[in-house]
Amino acid sequence: MARIAIASDHAALGLKAELATWLQDQGHEVADLGPNEPASVDYPDYGYKLAQAVSGKDADFGVALCGSGIGISIAVNRVAACRCALVSEPLSASLAREHNDANVIAMGARMIGSEMAKACLTAFLATPFGGDRHQRRVDKLGTPPA
């Protein structure tokens, strides 16, 4: 089982709570990085907090949630050690792991329901990185050209 950090903004508070409980029920160790109140918050703050947990090896994987999934995924991807993929269905979640070695999955609470989010997480966590030709490409993600 995996160590998973999960964070959101206020728009995804309910989905975050539901997924955190579901992941724990699946046997994963879950660190809920907030927020825990419905007051409006800024998604970059929680995206960076999640990225620090993953890049610092406090978590194997991260789950980033906001209204659309877009803003928080951008924040997470500002940290070089993170490869965050915004997904809305299981095939993209699986390919993000297999081809891109994504270590963070982002989803939009206003875009998909909890059952689809669970299906995406299931695919993401069950898929290993393919390595081989994909490793060369993933290496380039961490070192952009000058």
Among candidate residues 10, 66, 82, 84, the one labeled active-site is: 66
Residues 35 and 25: beta-carbon distance below 8 Å: no
> Which residues have a Cβ under 8 Å from the Cβ of 127 and sit 6 or more positions away?
93, 94, 97, 98
Phi, then psi, of 80 in degrees rounded to 5: -55, -35
Catalytic annotation on 99? yes
Instruction: Characterize 41-53 residue by residue with b for buried, 16 or more Cβ atoms within 10 angstroms of its Cβ, and e for exposed.
Output: bebbbbbbbbbbb
Among candidate residues 28, 82, 84, 99, the one labeled active-site is: 99
3-class secondary-structure state, position 3: strand
Residues 35 and 65: beta-carbon distance below 8 Å: no
Kindly list the catalytic residues.
66, 99
